[in-house]
Amino acid sequence: MLVQRIGNTPLVRLCHVLDGVVPASVEVWAKLEWFNPGGSVKDRAAWSIIRDAEQSGHLRPGMRLLDSSSGNTGIAYGMIAASRGHRITLCLPANANRERKKILRAYGVEVIETDPLEGSDGAIRKARALVAEHPDQYLYLDQYSNDANWRAHYETTGPEIWRDTGGRVTHWVSALGTSGTFMGTSRRLKEYDPRITCVSVQPDSPFHGLEGLKHMESAIVPRIYDATLADRDLGAPTEASIALMRRLAREEGLLVGVSAGAALWGAIEVARALDEGVVVTLFPDSGERYLSEEHLWP
């Protein structure tokens, strides 16, 4: 089954991008989430959410699944819905890039475009309005409030990191979108060893170019987000994150999306201040999804 291929992504040690900044005694590892069949970390949450919907009994015949997404969750939903025989409608900011819209259509997703100026919050508001108007037609998956989102990471990402570091992980650094990745993985890692430091990374300003990430102070805050779980919270600058994204391609052979640049920025901030440690971060998707964006890849 396709969904059985979700998870168990590679964990690789970074090398050249750390030169001269991070002490050689500090290891930095990254989990490569584009190895999931739908091409991003969101396969984990989408499968957990859809599986939950299937088992809940709320998905009656003829109903459509509904959610909002800035792209990756929608693509993951599209892939899984197609393979499970569900129909799905997705609210998406109209400025989502061409690749994303084409992939969604290829999977047969019904896409409703929302005001680009309102970003992912505009898409959330549209989905809420649709389900309020047609409660019998749609099952609203609501990735921002759905506990199955963070539980996916509690059940898979956390145990994989613990296993693949042989229990040596000392720091976990992850960027915040819905916050599912950070919440679920942090809860699990702290159960394995409460001394593990968990660091969240978000854009350093409301007007940022870090697709997939949320500036919590100025956004609709996801219900699943609990700021108290983070031992530290860092604000990643857009330009520095983009620069690191480009360096990952040239210096490590890792063609990543821009949120991975932000995650690495956070991991380096943490790692540079240590004498020793095993810092783990996660790269949510591949750079191939952003190649048409001239400001990222001139």
Tell me which residues are annotated as active site: 42, 259
What residues pair up with 171 in beta bridges, in sequence order?
197, 279
Closest distance of CB 283 from ligand PMP, Å: 9
Q: Assess contact for 43 and 36: CB atoms under 8 A.
A: yes
Closest distance of CB 177 from ligand PMP, Å: 3
Closest distance of CB 259 from ligand PMP, Å: 3
Closest distance of CB 61 from ligand PMP, Å: 30
Q: Between residues 43 and 211, which has the closer beta carbon with respect to ligand PMP?
A: 211
Residues 6+ apart with CB under 8 A from 85: none
Q: Assess contact for 268 and 28: CB atoms under 8 A.
A: yes
| Segment holding 175, helix H or strand E | strand 171-175
Neighbours of 144 (CB within 10 A): 24
Tokens representing residue 140 in the block? 């609203």
The contact set with ligand PMP (CB under 6 A) reads 40-42, 70, 72, 175-182, 211-213, 257, 259, 284-285
* CA atoms of 35 and 195, how far apart (whole Å): 29
* CA atoms of 219 and 190, how far apart (whole Å): 27
